[in-house]
Structure 1
Amino acid sequence: MDQKPQDDIDFLEPSVLLDETHYEEGFKNGYNDGLVTGKEEGRQVGLKNGFQVGEELGFYQGCLDVWMSVICIDHNAFSARVRKNIEQLAALVRSYPLSDPEDEQIQDIMEKIRLKFRVITASLGAKLEYEGRPASSKHDVEDLSSV
């Protein structure tokens, strides 16, 4: 029988196996800790982002409420074009999927709301801006020209 002599056994093998065992154990511990803290961090980020979206939508709805009240008092207070834009903004705000944050069109809808709001305020010559959002950028101004 052909049997390997004891000298040929790799004396480093137990060290390599020990290293792999510690690596796997560390990975499992880190993964489990990440699951716990990741869920909590995700919850906090979700609450923060949800609050910001709700605050911004509330700002637009508040402006709409004022404009709609003005229209009720004096139907000719705004031009037909501005009234049409106000109605379109109201429809966009209503269409925002509050109960479906994973909707793929959520960002597009918010951008349309922001753009329509800027169109209305520009038409009215008003300098209204939602303070929780950074000031208009060059990209935003270019978007206005396409409406």
Structure 2
Amino acid sequence: MSSDPFDDILTLEDQFFSEGYRQGTEDGVQAGKIEGRSVGLAKGYEKFLESGRIHGRSVVWANRLSLPQKTAADTSPGEQQQKTCSLPPLPPNARLEKNVTAAFALLEPDTLSKENSDDAVNDFDDRFKRAQGKVKIIERMTGEAAVKVGAEIRSGESKDA
């Protein structure tokens, strides 16, 4: 028995370090999963919120497109009273119509996959980026600027400060 009685005491620091490192790693993995899930949910919510906003704008633009008007003889008096619009129609332009239709089709809710797979997420991100590009083109063509909703409110800063 050549075992030194002080071996356990001399390696005590290494044992505590190893045990603490193992526990810290396990706790970090668990905390990382929780934080990753919450960040993922927040980012997903922001993307779907923005896609809904873009889709809504494309619906409004589609309704403002200059469509062939019916003559007064073709419309009934009831239809003439219902056709009140507070927004001016968009100028007739084939390129504008094509971009509005594309923006509408890219983010149509019925065609978007809500699965949590890599392919579905990549498809959504691709369509979302393409729709954002179409919106920028439409904004430039119509002279309408996008309104940043809540950007200054969330940060607590204003442009005047």
Question: Same fold by TM (over 0.5)?
Answer: yes
Q: Is the aligned partner of 1:62 residue 2:51?
A: no
C-alpha separation between the residues in 2 aligned to 1:85 and 1:133? 27
Aligned to 2:21: 27
CA distance in structure 2 between the partners assigned to 1:125 and 1:23 by the alignment: 64
Once the two structures are TM-superposed, the CA of residue 133 in structure 1 deviates from its matched residue by 6.9
Matched, 1:114 2:128: no
Structure 2: distance between partners of 1:16 and 1:112 = 64
For residue 24 of structure 1, report the CA deviation from its aligned partner: 1.9
Partner of 1:75: 67
The equivalent residue for 1:99 is 115
2:33 is aligned to: 39
Q: CA deviation at 1:20?
A: 2.8
Q: What is the identity percentage for the equivalent residue pairs of Structure 1 and Structure 2? A: 26
Deviation at 1:132? 5.8
Distance of 2:30 and 2:151 partners within structure 1:
31
Partner of 1:123: 141
Correspondence for 1:90 among 92, 104, 116: 104
Shift of 1:13: 5.9
TM-score when normalising by structure 1: 0.66
Residues 130 and 101 (structure 1), Cα distance of their counterparts in 2 relative to 1, 3 Å cut: farther
Q: Which amino acid aligns with 1:22?
A: F
Q: Aligned equivalents of 1:30 and 1:44: distance in 2? A: 21
Could you tell me which runs of 5 or more consecutive residues in structure 1 were left unpaired when the two chains were aligned.
1-5, 135-147
Offset of residue 43 of structure 1: 2.2
1:99 maps to amino acid: E
